[in-house]
Each structure stands twice: as structure tokens, then as C-alpha cells.
Amino acid sequence: MSDFVPTREDRFAFGLWTIMNRGADPFGGPTREPIDPLEAISELGRRGVWAIEMHVEDLIPVGSSAAARDRLIREARRRLDEYGMACVNVGANVFSHPVFRDGALTSHDAKVRALAMQRYMEAIDVGVELGCTLCDLWWGRDGCECDAARSPLEAFKRLREGLNYLQHYIDRRGYAGYRLAIEPKPNEPRGDAYLPTVGHALGLIAMLDRPDNCGLVPELAHARMAGLNAFHEVALALDAGRLFGLHLNAQKPLRFDQDLRFGAEDLKESFFVVRLIEDAGWTGARTFDAHPYRTADREEVWDFVTGCMRSYLILREKVKRFNADAEIQGLLRELHEPDDGPLPDPQTLAGMHFDWDELARRRLHHERLDQLTQELLLGIR
Ligand code: GLO
Ligand code: MG
């Protein structure tokens, strides 16, 4: 059995913000010293991580001089190259500063909307310099508590306009291959966020000027916060050909955004997500977007990093066993047979006779199948 040590081929990534997270929550300030973004890149590189994601502000604080900006980009690039790493998403932090307290792209204030757009443009420019080809938009503050203040019709229109504007920017600058993505989330920090799920986002994407160039970055915790099956959410994005990224973490359902270490909760659902993307041969980054516990100190942040990757590798090993397990595969074969291919033409179909009772008597094996899956995950198969 493998010793579950990650290599670049495993395509693991971390958001810089996850390493830089200082354990603060709404009820208490930071509990650990900050980790510098450049140091984070090198430490991740030493641990076999393949890529990073970031908000442009994680690396380049707002207000940095042009010289400081260039130096930070150069140094980030040098460290990425040193470890054979990539940068797979640069987004913008348009949620922390009070100027965005009532939204960025959907703000009532045209100047705030323009400022947010400027930040996204900067994210794309810096991304290009780092060899990145994706800008994932998580619009943290684009939502509301007070529905009297803004019609969602206005909000959806502005989100659409914002995405179209960014796409035109990408086209005008000739950034070939650069893509946009929406990261849906149901709530937090807003009471309600616009576009809470993958399905909602797909609906909006279909109305864009260039729907082909905008995809999704689903996050397991966000789906579970909405009480949804995260496996199905990821599958919907994959099926639509729009799985441009993936944020892995763990979460108890219907709670605040816990951003737990991957594998810390919802093991069975996580297993099926790993199986989905591994079996599909999906080549995107397996990005962890979780936070070390508030109780963790600076050193324990690296335990958290190792833990996320080990859990993925262990689940991937379980996927191999699942796919090779004769009993499980036998049940699955039986379940999927007979597969008579496509439906006959409507005239033939209209004349067909069905034995309802016989069809209803067919054994489906769900009890055994689920128990076997459970036993496999519990380590006795
Ligand atoms: C917060 C989101 C956030 C995004 C990030 C992407 O709940 O998951 O971490 O993933 O802003 O750039
Ligand atoms: Mg995320």
C-alpha cells in the first residue's frame, strides 16, 4: 500500500488564503501569527503541492507601488518555478474592505462596481504574469439581508454585465485561453447570496455573451451549507463541461461555513466526489479551500495541509478498491443490466407491453451495496 505521500502528479493545490488564515472568527480575533504568502508557496512546494490559488491581494497588498508589485510577482514566479508549481486561479478580494459592505458587482454605487471590476482586471493581469488561466469569482458580499433595498432582478443583471465586461476585457487584451468561473455559495457573509448553487450559476452562465468561457468552481462545503448533496453538485458541473476548478473541504450540513480539513466530515460524500473526478479522468487541480482550526498554531497549519492531502490519497486508494471489488462490481453490473440501448422510436414504444409487477419485483441491492461501501470505507474490505 502507498504511504500516501503527495507528488506533483497528484495535482493538489491550496488557496494561499487558507495557509494565511489566522484563525479569527466573528467572536474572536486571530490566534496565530501570519504566514507570509511567499513563504507559504515554498512550504507548499516542499510538501509536494502542485499549485496555488490566490486572491491578488493575498500576494500584493492594495496600495503597493508598481515596483513592489513587480518584485512580488517575480518572487512568486521564482518560487513556483523552483518547485515545478503552477498558479491555477487568481481571483480578487472584493469582500473584506468596508467599501464592499453591500456588494461589489451588485453594489448600488457605480463607483464601487467600477472599483470591483478594476480589482478583477488586476487579478487577471497578475494571473497572466503568473501563467494562470482562470479567474474564479466568489462574490462574497454580493447578496443581501434587506430585500427591500435591491431587487434580485437588478442584481442578476449586474452580475451578468460584470461577467460580460470581464470577458470583453480578456478578449481585448488577447489573453488566449483565459477563463472565468463562478463559485456559488448560499450565504455567509451575507444572509442570502445571489447564485447559491451550481444549478443557479449554470442558469446565469447560459445568458452570458460567451457562455462557453465561463464555468464553475463548486465547493463541497458550500453545497452542504445549502443542505445539498455535494457529490451531485460537482457532478452537475462536470456533466455540463463546466468543472473549471474544485474546492475540497468538509462541512456539517446546514451550518455556518466551517471550512474543515478535507475528510474531517462527510466521508462517504467525499469518497464519491473523489471517485467521480478520478474515474472521469478530470485533470483540474484538486484544490483545498479549508481553514486550519482556530486552535492550531503556526506549525500545526502544516499538519492541516498534510491531512487534507493524505485524506484525498487514502480516499483515492479506496476508489481503486471499490472499482476492483468483485462483489461490489458484480452488484453494479446486475443493477445496470439489461441495458437495451436507446429507446425505440415513439411508434414502437407506444405499442410496447410492460409487465409492471415483474419490473417492480426486480431486486436493486441498495442495502448491500451501501453496506459494502461503508465497510470498504471503514477499512475492513
Ligand atoms: C469562501 C470561498 C472563498 C473562495 C475564494 C476564491 O467561502 O470559498 O474562499 O473560494 O475567494 O478566490
Ligand atoms: Mg472556495
Question: Quick one: average pLDDT of 183-202?
Answer: 98
Question: Quick one: average pLDDT of 181-205?
Answer: 98
Task: Provide the terminal-to-terminal Cα distance of the chain, rounded to the nearest Å.
Answer: 14
Q: Hey, how many other C-beta atoms are within 10 angstroms of the C-beta on 214?
A: 25
Residue type for position 311: S
**Average pLDDT for the chain:** 97
Look at residue 331 and tell me whether its pLDDT is greater than 70: yes
User: By alpha-carbon position, which residue is closest to atom 6 of ligand 1?
Assistant: 138
* 147 Cα–ligand 1 center, Å: 24
Could you give the CA distance from residue 336 to residue 323 in angstroms, rounded to a whole number? Answer: 15
Confidence class of residue 107 from pLDDT cuts 50, 70 and 90? Answer: very high
Question: Quick one: average pLDDT of 100-126?
Answer: 98
User: What's residue 337's pLDDT?
Assistant: 80
User: By alpha-carbon position, which residue is closest to atom 12 of ligand 1?
Assistant: 91
Look at residue 340 and tell me whether its pLDDT is greater than 80: no
Tens of pLDDT, residues 292-312: 999 999 999 999 999 999 999
Alpha-carbon distances, residue 206 vs 199, 211, 249, 297 (angstroms): 11, 5, 28, 44
| Sole residue written with cell 507548499 | 44
Look at residue 53 and tell me whether its pLDDT is greater than 70: yes
Look at residue 38 and tell me whether its pLDDT is greater than 60: yes
What percent of the chain lies above the pLDDT cut of 90? 97
* 219 Cα–ligand 2 center, Å: 6
Could you give the CA distance from residue 126 to residue 60 in angstroms, rounded to a whole number? Answer: 9
How is 58-119 classified by DSSP, letter by letter? HHS-TT--HHHHHHHHHHHHHHHHHTT-EEEEEE---SSSGGGTT-STT-S-HHHHHHHHHH
From 10, 25, 36, 55, active-site residue: 55
Could you give the CA distance from residue 355 to residue 342 in angstroms, rounded to a whole number? Answer: 19
* 323 Cα–ligand 1 center, Å: 33
Instruction: Find the ligand nearest to 139 CA.
Output: 1
Question: Quick one: average pLDDT of 272-282?
Answer: 98
Catalytic-residue membership of 58? yes
Q: What angle do CA 193, 195, 201 make, to 5 degrees?
A: 160
| Pocket around ligand 1 at a 6 A CB cut-off | 15, 55, 91, 136, 138, 183, 185, 219, 247, 257, 289
Spell 267-298 as b/e; 16+ CB within 10 A means b: bebbbbbbbbbbeeeeebbbbbbbbbeeebee
From 36, 58, 297, 353, active-site residue: 58
Residue type for position 40: A
Question: Quick one: average pLDDT of 229-234?
Answer: 98
Q: Which residue, among 286, 271, 284, 282, has the nearest Cα to 316 in the 3D structure?
A: 271
* 185 Cα–ligand 2 center, Å: 9
Confidence class of residue 339 from pLDDT cuts 50, 70 and 90? Answer: confident
Question: Quick one: average pLDDT of 17-29?
Answer: 98
Look at residue 4 and tell me whether its pLDDT is greater than 60: yes
Instruction: Find the ligand nearest to 16 CA.
Output: 1
Question: Quick one: average pLDDT of 368-379?
Answer: 98
Instruction: Find the ligand nearest to 225 CA.
Output: 1
Look at residue 315 and tell me whether its pLDDT is greater than 80: yes
User: What's residue 336's pLDDT?
Assistant: 87
User: What's residue 304's pLDDT?
Assistant: 98
Tens of pLDDT, residues 63-90: 999 999 999 999 999 999 999 999 999 9
Question: Quick one: average pLDDT of 354-363?
Answer: 95
C-alpha cell at 83: 518547485
User: By alpha-carbon position, which residue is closest to atom 2 of ligand 1?
Assistant: 138
